[in-house]
Amino acid sequence: MSSSSSTTVVGVELGARRYDVHIGTFVPPAIAETLAAALGPDVTGVAVLVDGDLGKRSPRVAPLVEALQARLPRVNRYDLPGGEASKTLDEIGRTTQWLAEQGYDRRAAVIGIGGGATGDHSGFAAAVYLRGVRFALCPTTLLAMVDASVGGKTAVDLPAGKNLVGAFHQPRAVVADLGFLETLPAREQTAGLAEVVKCGFIADPSLLAIFAAHPGGRLGLDAIAALVAGAVRVKADVVAEDEHEGGRRAILNFGHTIGHALEAESAYALLHGEAVSLGMIAALSLGEARGITPPAVAMLARAMLADVGLPVDLEGRVTPAVMARVGVDKKRAGKKVRFVLCAAAGDTRLVDVGLDELTAHFLPSGA
């Protein structure tokens, strides 16, 4: 990766609960200072929840925790299971029990350091502990930086499906330190690009132009920084308009309806971004069948996703078991599931699709 010294701040405008997303490469004391200012001078203690796998892999974690300890009161570190393994009610129980044992009160705060799963766990634990304490996030994966850390949707999984238990709980600040991406496995970095491509198709086609200018996914840090900032702006704008997904925010689910089902049915062998890539292909296929998505749009999306190294072949993936998971998706209402269909880059439609139609489209043989 080439170096970049620029810093971008994107505001998530939610009135009295507005907060900033800081994007750049930062030294630990600067992150600690930013988070201390956001959490407020009256904070009585800070629980730092860290993705355990990240803590073993990245040399940036320990200095960051030390900087937080030097700047904030009663900072204690708690390592979570790595990745999706942290997103269970049992793990939330363990974390909140630890918070109680540490004596954290209602003016304490939680800081999550890790990928999207760690952010979801940290935010949900903060939402339910003592009926809600403040929290902040340091996302360390590309996927978390562009998606999971922004917007206040926190959740854990159930055996029946992904993100079925959760709460809306907005952070006080997000610091996306691009330096963490240097130790990110290539597969995880590629997976994170799916959410950026999604933002390009639902709201900001200029993001697609950045990909076009860097064929083969050969993205330097400056390009990554621009993509992260652009995707965060898309999400911040949508969340500011529709915080609780009562309307426009649903467009952020492009690719997620089938994607979440594929991800859960794979027992999370598929990374979230990989599943979303396949979910976008599925939604585009459905849009074509309904006459909403022009074939050229579907072809562009397929080519762009494949070019950066994301999976695009649905053959044999949408099974009856996957369709059964779609039937318990959060976006289901009665016998219909809300899909985000794409008419053009930047032009989406929210469509309620019957489960019978979905089955006929994706399982035409009745297999």
Residues annotated as catalytic (active site), given as ranges: 131, 153, 195, 235, 245, 249, 253, 256, 260, 272
Phi first, then psi: what are they for 171, rounded to 5°? -75, 165
Of 74, 13, 5, 66, give the one whose Cα is nearest residue 39. 74
Q: What is the Cα gyration radius of the chain?
A: 20
DSSP state of 183: G
Strand partners, 89: none
Mapping DSSP to helix (H, G, I), strand (E, B) and coil, where does residue 73 land?
coil
Of 224, 200, 218, give the one whose Cα is nearest residue 301. 200
d(CA 320, CA 143): 28
Query: Per residue in 249-266, is it b (16+ CB within 10 Å) or e — as a string?
Result: bbbbbbbbbbbbbbbbbe
Half-sphere exposure of 24 (CA within 13 A, CB side): 15
Half-sphere exposure of 308 (CA within 13 A, CB side): 30
Q: Write the CA distances from 71 to 36, 51, 160, 303, integer angstroms.
A: 7, 21, 42, 47
Sheet strand arrangement including 347-354? 332-333, 336-344, 347-354
Q: What is the total residue count of the chain?
A: 367
Token reading at 278: 């396949």
Query: Per residue in 99-118, is it b (16+ CB within 10 Å) or e — as a string?
Result: beeeebeeebbbbbbbbbbb
